[in-house]
């Protein structure tokens, strides 16, 4: 192995984002992180919400407070995920099991009458539960910065399909395609709060899951997919089925929730970071071929603009049987 002393900073660099409550100053910017890092945050904080009648959706843990020796956690989800009356609900959520980051999922029953709060004229609800376990908490971002073209990610647990026959965590990327809150003054005309449109792939069961920005912060709650607007029974234009999704999906901006719960950072223990995103990404990318192909690794760090460091090293090695 050839050792290159110029790569020492790359191996020693660890990029860590700490989502602690703070009042950011005017010059603070949250740094964009890699897709994998955002996915790791989502996987730690996104939960399944399952009703006793067999329906389920998703949600995201956004707050923690203490009550005696127990923690009180708050999940934010879409109200239609928990709309069914006279049924019981349970939460399936990941927890840490050791210091190595190993996680398992636990099931927690919730009292629908006492632990679920729905909001008026907006498709949002909170679900609270008590636990001695320690759960990760997502950070609420600033949906005002989620404008057209901004990269966003949606995470949740969709229902099984034709090829994917089991319930599995899904994380999809896309971008904001439109905002509707600027021109609509009457909240009743804004489709239950769904003011943010994006291009991410979603399926039934992902409703209530978070829409995250490039820094891994929650900027919206997903809950609706745009569909063909043809009158039932009429042939859709372009040969599309009447109920076929168009590819656009919608979420409720997190600022809508924060306007309804302005003190939630205090009473609910939420972490809020309203700073803009700095998209000067610092990363290390690795490309690995198969056993029978060339083995290639590429390491690169991008700094400021212009880059203060831009090194690419390529090692090639062939493997024989």
DSSP-assigned states of every residue in 121-172: TSS-EEEEEEESS-----EE--GGG--TT-EEEEEE-PPP-SS--S---EEE
Q: What are phi and psi of 27, to 5 degrees?
A: -95, 0
pLDDT at 287: 44
Residue 23: the pLDDT is 44
Domain definitions of the chain by residue range:
5-14+284-317, 33-278
The pLDDT of residue 192 is: 87
Closest among 43, 78, 42, 56 to 256, alpha carbons compared: 78
Question: What confidence tens digit (pLDDT) does each residue in 201-222 have?
Answer: 999 999 999 999 999 999 999 9
pLDDT at position 161: 79
Per-residue pLDDT of the chain (321 residues; tens, 9 = 90+): 444 444 434 333 333 333 344 444 446 788 889 999 999 999 999 999 999 888 889 999 999 998 887 889 999 999 999 998 888 899 998 775 555 556 677 888 888 888 999 999 999 999 999 988 888 999 999 999 999 999 999 999 998 878 887 888 999 999 999 998 655 555 555 688 999 999 999 999 999 999 999 999 999 999 988 777 654 444 434 444 556 777 789 999 999 999 999 888 888 899 999 999 888 755 554 444 444 443 333 333 433 333 333 333 333 333 333
C-beta of residue 63 within 8 angstroms of C-beta of residue 269: yes
Q: Write down the pTM of the prediction.
A: 0.74
Beta-strand pair 277-278/30-31: parallel
User: Do residues 184 and 160 make contact, with C-beta atoms less than 8 angstroms apart?
Assistant: no
Q: What element of type H or E holds 12?
A: helix 8-12
- pLDDT score at 98: 56
**CATH classification for the domain delimited by 33-278, as one of 3.40.50.1100, 2.40.128.50, 2.40.10.120, 2.60.40.10:** 2.40.10.120
Residue 182's alpha-carbon distances to 110, 187, 250, in angstroms, are 37, 11, 15
Distance of CA 130 to the CA centre of its chain: 23
243: which DSSP letter?
T
């Amino acid at each position: 192995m050839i050792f290159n002393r110029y790569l020492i900073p790359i191996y020693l660099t660890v990029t860590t984002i700490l989502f602690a409550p703070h009042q950011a100053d005017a010059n603070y910017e949250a740094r964009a992180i890699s897709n994998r890092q955002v996915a790791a945050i989502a996987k730690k904080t996104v939960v399944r919400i399952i009703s006793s009648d067999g329906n389920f959706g998703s949600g995201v843990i956004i707050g923690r407070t203490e009550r005696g020796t127990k923690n009180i956690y708050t999940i934010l989800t879409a109200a239609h995920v928990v709309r069914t009356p006279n049924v019981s609900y349970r939460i399936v959520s990941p927890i840490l099991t050791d210091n190595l980051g190993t996680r398992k999922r636990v099931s927690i029953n919730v009292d629908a009458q006492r632990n679920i709060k729905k909001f008026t004229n907006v498709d949002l609800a909170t679900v609270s539960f008590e636990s001695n376990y320690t759960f990760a908490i997502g950070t609420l971002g600033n949906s005002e910065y989620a404008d057209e073209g901004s990269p966003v990610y949606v995470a949740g647990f969709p229902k099984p399909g034709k090829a994917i026959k089991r319930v599995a965590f899904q994380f999809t990327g896309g971008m904001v395609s439109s905002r509707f809150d600027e021109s609509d003054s009457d909240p009743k005309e804004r489709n239950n709060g769904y003011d943010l449109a994006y291009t991410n792939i979603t399926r039934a069961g992902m409703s209530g899951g978070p829409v995250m920005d490039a820094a891994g912060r929650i900027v919206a709650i997903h809950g609706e997919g745009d569909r063909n607007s043809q009158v039932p029974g009429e042939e859709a234009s372009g040969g599309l089925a009447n109920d076929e999704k168009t590819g656009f999906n919608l979420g409720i901006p997190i600022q809508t929730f924060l306007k309804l719960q302005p003190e939630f950072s205090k009473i609910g223990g939420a972490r809020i970071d309203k700073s803009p995103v700095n998209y000067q990404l610092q990363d290390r990318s690795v490309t690995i071929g198969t056993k029978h192909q060339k083995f290639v690794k590429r390491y690169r760090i991008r700094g400021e603009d212009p880059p203060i460091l831009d090194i690419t090293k390529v090692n090639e090695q062939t493997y024989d049987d």
